[in-house]
């Protein structure tokens, strides 16, 4: 490509210009399922699970960096890379797992948004959920997602309420610092159920497929607009920044509920109103409004990521045209899967599941599904025939192995504990 034809970069700091898929993925990670799971962890166990945030951060950076590098290096999504290098049985298993986990997560997120809005609007939750689902589908089809995501980040600002709340109430900071870095174990099914949920909502399968697919779209966009492609250093900075921001938000959510709810006997978050109480020290009588804005904003951001990542996987399985940068008429199958996954997720909400319990269950499902997918990502990222010069180094490989082992052990302990429960 003629370098003189490249468009000049905007006059923003380079560290800011390279923020993209990693930042959006990190923001989407704090979806309603994440809000519910982190809140329940703090309410039920106080500061005892703060250490999981410190544990998850390097693990999620390693996995997301590997998936981003796979997409940027091969120019293909995870499902397509799997199709070209593994058996059909492995491919079907991978696509089946991501669709299964994402549909459950979409349903739980829709139910949660309905419950949050019900705090503000006195109409049946099913009507609210229906209107919300239709709105999301319309926005996904007729709106440029990248523009849409930038707008929705404004809604995510509501999550700063957790940070402010934690800073204005009296906190035992020495105890918190200890709990953040020193693991505390409780040998009960409830404890390990939430642990697997925290791992699952943090290191979520949909993030793997989304991150890789968005790096592919970044390549295509750069070529179409005659711009320089993102370097591996750019991708690493973007991914690390997004994950750090995500985990800071998660830590403050858990810390806030541990401080505000747990000491006051609210150890089981059963409704959206229970979760909103965590923000009362800061928001007072407006706690429900602030909580609802945060849940709705993250639902609007997270559900398209969930549906989109499932659609990328299915489209790559069947060789369909794909991409959120395409019009609906250009990628009918791709958008068909997005609509189908969202509608089926909505249908699950009509079965009457408790929204908060459904959110935590979705997180646990993600925690179980992520285990074999992390193993697959490690196999791909360490294969020099696929990755060429950008194969994982010793540090990346070691942390990917560690992620697989830790998530696998936690899932196994939870399963054993369920039989002894």
Tokens of 261: 């709810």
Please give the pLDDT value at position 26.
73
CA angle (268, 272, 275) in 5-degree steps:
55
How many C-beta neighbours within 10 Å does residue 270 have?
Answer: 13
Q: What percent of the chain has pLDDT over 90?
A: 58
DSSP 150-206: HHHHHHHGGGHHHHHHHHHS---HHHHHHHHHS-----SHHHHHHHHHHHHHHS-HH
Q: Give the separation between CA 269 and CA 252, rounded to whole angstroms.
A: 17
- Look up the domain containing 275 and give its range: 3-420
Kindly state the helix (H) or strand (E) to which residue 332 belongs, with its residue range: helix 332-349
Q: Distance between the two ends of the chain, CA-based, in angstroms?
A: 63
Tell me what pLDDT residue 213 has: 87
Average pLDDT, the chain: 88
Q: How far apart are CA 360 and CA 40, in angstroms?
A: 8
For 388-412, what is each residue's pLDDT tens digit?
Answer: 999 999 999 999 999 999 999 999 9
Q: How far apart are CA 310 and CA 290, in angstroms?
A: 30
Of 144 and 41, the one with more pLDDT: 41
Q: Indicate whether 7 pLDDT > 70.
A: no
Q: Which of 126-130, 138-142, 182-186, 368-372 has the lowest mean pLDDT?
A: 138-142
Q: Could you tell me if 199 and 417 are in contact, meaning their C-beta atoms sit under 8 angstroms apart?
A: no
Rounded to 5°, angle at Cα 400 from 396 and 405: 150
pLDDT score for 375: 97
CA geometry: angle 62, 63, 64, nearest 5 deg: 95
Range with lowest mean pLDDT among 140-144, 242-246, 335-339, 361-365:
140-144
Rg of the chain over all Cα atoms, to the nearest angstrom: 21
Q: Which position has the token pair 């166990």?
A: 45
φ and ψ at residue 18, rounded to 5 degrees: -80, -5
If one counts every other C-beta atom within 10 angstroms of the C-beta of residue 100, the result is: 14
Q: Total structural domains in the chain?
A: 1
Comparing CA positions, the residue from 128, 54, 91 lying closest to residue 292 is 128
Confidence at residue 2, expressed as pLDDT on a 0 to 100 scale = 43
Residue 325 pLDDT: 74
Question: What is residue 55's predicted lDDT score, i.e. its pLDDT?
Answer: 96
**For residues 106, 360, 245 and 143, what is the CA-based torsion angle, rounded to 10 degrees?**
10
Averaged pLDDT for residues 54-82? 94
- Distance (Å, rounded) from C-alpha 135 to C-alpha 133? 5
Question: What is the rounded distance in angstroms from the CA atom of residue 287 to the CA atom of residue 129?
Answer: 21
8 Å CB contact between 255 and 165: no
Predicted model pTM: 0.89
- Provide the pLDDT confidence category of residue 27 given band limits of 50, 70 and 90: confident
Residue 140: what pLDDT?
A: 83
Q: Is the pLDDT of residue 345 over 90?
A: yes
Q: What is the pLDDT of residues 116-138, one digit of tens each?
A: 999 988 888 889 999 999 998 98
Residue 41 has pLDDT above 90, yes or no: yes
Could you tell me the two tokens for 222? 């750069």
- Choose the weakest-confidence range: 7-21, 41-55, 187-201, 245-259: 7-21
3-state secondary structure of 325: coil
- Asked whether the CA dihedral 351, 355, 356, 359 is positive or negative, the reply is positive
Percent of the residues in the chain that have a pLDDT greater than 70, as a whole number: 92
pLDDT exceeds cutoff 50 at 292:
yes
Q: Calculate the alpha carbon distances from 189 to 43, 171, 179, 192 in Å.
A: 16, 29, 20, 5
CATH of the domain at 38: 1.20.1740.10
Is 405 in a helix, a strand, or coil? helix
Q: Locate tokens 């309905």: which residue?
A: 114
- Sign of the C-alpha dihedral computed for residues 89, 94, 97 and 102 taken in this order: negative
| Tens digits of residue pLDDT in 194-241 | 999 999 999 999 899 988 988 888 887 777 766 777 788 888 888 888
Q: How far is it, in rounded angstroms, from Cα 173 to Cα 330? A: 54
Encoded tokens for 355? 């929204």
């Amino acid at each position: 490509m003629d370098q003189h034809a490249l468009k000049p970069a905007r006059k923003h700091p380079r560290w800011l210009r390279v923020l993209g898929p990693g930042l959006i993925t990190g923001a989407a990670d704090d979806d309603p399922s994440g809000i519910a799971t982190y809140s329940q962890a703090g309410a039920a166990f106080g500061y005892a699970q703060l250490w999981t945030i410190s544990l998850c951060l390097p693990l999620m950076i390693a996995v997301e960096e590997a998936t981003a590098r796979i997409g940027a290096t091969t120019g293909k999504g995870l499902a397509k890379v799997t199709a070209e290098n593994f058996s059909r049985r492995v491919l079907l298993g991978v696509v089946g797992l991501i669709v299964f986990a994402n549909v459950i997560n979409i349903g739980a997120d829709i139910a949660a948004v309905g419950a949050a809005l019900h705090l503000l609007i006195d109409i049946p939750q099913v009507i609210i959920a229906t209107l919300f689902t239709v709105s999301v589908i319309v926005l996904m089809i007729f709106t440029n997602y990248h523009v849409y995501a930038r707008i929705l980040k404004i809604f995510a600002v509501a999550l700063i309420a957790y940070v402010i709340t934690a800073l204005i109430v009296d906190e035992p900071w020495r105890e918190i610092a200890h709990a953040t870095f020193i693991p505390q174990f409780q040998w009960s099914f409830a404890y390990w159920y939430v642990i697997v949920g925290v791992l699952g909502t943090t290191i979520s399968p949909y993030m793997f497929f989304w991150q890789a697919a968005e790096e592919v779209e970044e390549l295509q966009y750069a070529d179409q607009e005659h711009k320089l492609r993102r370097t591996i250093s750019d991708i690493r900075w973007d991914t690390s920044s997004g994950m750090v921001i995500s985990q800071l938000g998660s830590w403050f959510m858990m810390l806030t509920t541990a401080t505000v709810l747990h000491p006051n006997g609210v150890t089981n978050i059963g409704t959206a109103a229970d979760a909103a109480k965590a923000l009362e020290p800061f928001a007072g009588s407006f706690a429900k409004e602030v909580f609802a804005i945060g849940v709705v904003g993250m639902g609007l951001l997270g559900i398209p990521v969930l549906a989109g990542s499932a659609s990328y996987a299915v489209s790559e399985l069947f060789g369909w045209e794909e991409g959120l940068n395409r019009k609906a008429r250009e990628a009918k199958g791709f958008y068909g899967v997005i609509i189908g996954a969202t509608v089926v997720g909505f249908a699950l909400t009509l079965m009457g599941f408790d929204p908060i319990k459904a959110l935590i269950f979705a997180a646990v499902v993600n925690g179980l599904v992520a285990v074999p997918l992390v193993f697959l990502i490690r196999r791909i990222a360490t294969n020099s025939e696929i990755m060429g010069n950008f194969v994982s180094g010793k540090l990346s490989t070691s942390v990917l192995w560690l992620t697989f082992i830790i998530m696998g052990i936690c899932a196994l302990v939870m399963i054993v504990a369920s039989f002894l429960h």
